[in-house]
Structure 1
Amino acid sequence: MRINILQHSPNEGPGFIKDWALERGHDIYVYHPYYFDGILPNEKDTDMLIILGGPMSPNDDLPWIKDERKLIQELIDRSIPIFGACYGAQQISKTLGYDVSKAPYKEVGWAPVYLKSNSIQNIPPKLSALHWHEEMFEIPKEAELLFSSDLLENQGFLLKNIIGLQFHFEPTKTDIHEIVVNDASYALNNNALNQSPKDILTNDFPSENKETMFKLLDYISQ
């Protein structure tokens, strides 16, 4: 399987998604459309699409952001599995015709998320996830709510072989270090989780997130 990954920031890489792909024997191709002139994969060469997070918004008026949604729609039409994290999940929702808007709370740091669906088996009912956002997606009407948090109901959705998460299960412990040292200032202003960069770095790393990430990707790739 060829897995095409859209990465939107140098400090938000695929993390455990890469580990999953390599363990399953898949080929990985990473694209950086924000940097390399909007280069995107061909939909015919995509067996799974991963859309990672980033500092931009789906509402930004940039050609490559609109081109991403064209690619997403082409893959949805072909029933190709798609996983989106944060900005990536917002892009999926917007592609399907739903709103992306400011969230009632800016969430930056570690906070629990709660499973709201039994469609994917053996997922813990409560998990600790990394949050790094101030926008939110609208849940597509044809999808089911997958996760919620204490501050935001729409934290994840499942639509057939598509999963969108507003938060992050994919970062490894080293990835967390990279995110924080490069984007620490984002946690300092109007953060409803009231966590400093030091708080985020010293939080106990949730080892179950890797297994959960693997289960989510196994589900949509069946």
Structure 2
Amino acid sequence: MRINVLQHTPNEGPGSIQDWAHAHGYQLYIYHPYQFGFLPTADETDMLVILGGPMSPNDDLAWIKQERALIQELLANETPIFGACFGAQQITKTLGYPVTKGPAKEVGWAPVYRKSDVIPGLPEKLTALHWHEDMFQIPEGAQLLFSSDNLVNQGFVLNHHVVGLQFHFEPKEDNVREMVINDHPYIKGSVLNQSAEEILARQVPDENKNVMFQILNYITEN
């Protein structure tokens, strides 16, 4: 399987998604469209991962629109797609739903609650890393997968092969450090009221990697 990853900022990489790909012997190709302008084609994509970033799907940038054209093709082909944060918003925007400011800016560690049993074995409550202030709408036909105390629309699953999460399960310890040291000014104004030091001091829960694996296994099942 060829997994094409769209990375949108240097400090938000695939993290444990890369571990999952390696564990299965899959090939991982990482694209940086915001910098180089290149995207894979639908024909060479067996699975698409769309990561987070500081931009918005509402930005008038050619590569953002080109990403959505690719997503549209892959949705039509029923190709597995996973989107995190900006990536999840890109999926819903492709489906015709608006991306808007959420009720509160969430940056830091906070619980999310499972709202559907469609993916077997997910815990009822998990602690996730949040790094966002925009939100998506749940597409018609999709199931609400996660909510938080501050935002209902935290995750969705669509047609068995598409999952979008507003938060992050994929970062490992080094990834969290990279996000915080490079983007710590963004923490200001978060409803979670956590400092950079407090975010760094929190250990990444071991179960987050396990859940990331469960989600990826689910969307790639035949």
Q: Provide the TM-score with structure 1 as the length reference.
A: 0.98
What is the percent sequence identity of the aligned residues? 63
Q: Which amino acid aligns with 1:207?
A: D
How far residue 85 of structure 1 moved from its aligned partner, in angstroms, is 0.0
- Residue of structure 1 in register with 2:12 after alignment: 12
Counting only pairs closer than 5 Å after superposition, residues 113-192 of structure 1 correspond to structure 2 as 113-160=112-159, 161-188=161-188, 190-192=189-191
Q: Deviations over 1:69-124 (max 9, x none)?
A: 00000000000000000000000000000010001100000000000000111110
Distance 1:143 1:8 in 2: 25
Q: Which amino acid aligns with 2:34?
A: Y
Matched, 1:30 2:35: no
How far residue 5 of structure 1 moved from its aligned partner, in angstroms, is 0.1
Counting only pairs closer than 5 Å after superposition, residues 61-76 of structure 1 correspond to structure 2 as 61-76=60-75
- Residue of structure 1 in register with 2:40 after alignment: 41
Distance 1:174 1:180 in 2: 10
Q: Deviations over 1:148-175 (max 9, x none)?
A: 0000000000002100000000000110
Give 5+ residue unaligned stretches, structure 1.
none
Q: Which amino acid aligns with 2:199?
A: I
CA RMSD in angstroms, aligned pairs only: 0.5
Q: Deviations over 1:27-76 (max 9, x none)?
A: 0000000000x210011000000000000000000000000000000000
Distance 2:156 2:166 in 1: 9
Give the SS at the match of 1:34: helix
Q: Provide the TM-score with structure 2 as the length reference.
A: 0.98
Would the aligned equivalents of 2:173 and 2:203 in 1 still touch at CA under 8 Å?
A: no
- Residue of structure 2 in register with 1:104 after alignment: 103
How far residue 197 of structure 1 moved from its aligned partner, in angstroms, is 0.4
Runs of 4 or more above 2 Å deviation = none
Distance 2:107 2:144 in 1: 22
Give the SS at the match of 1:35: helix
Q: Number of aligned pairs?
A: 220
Distance 1:156 1:187 in 2: 22
How far residue 17 of structure 1 moved from its aligned partner, in angstroms, is 0.2
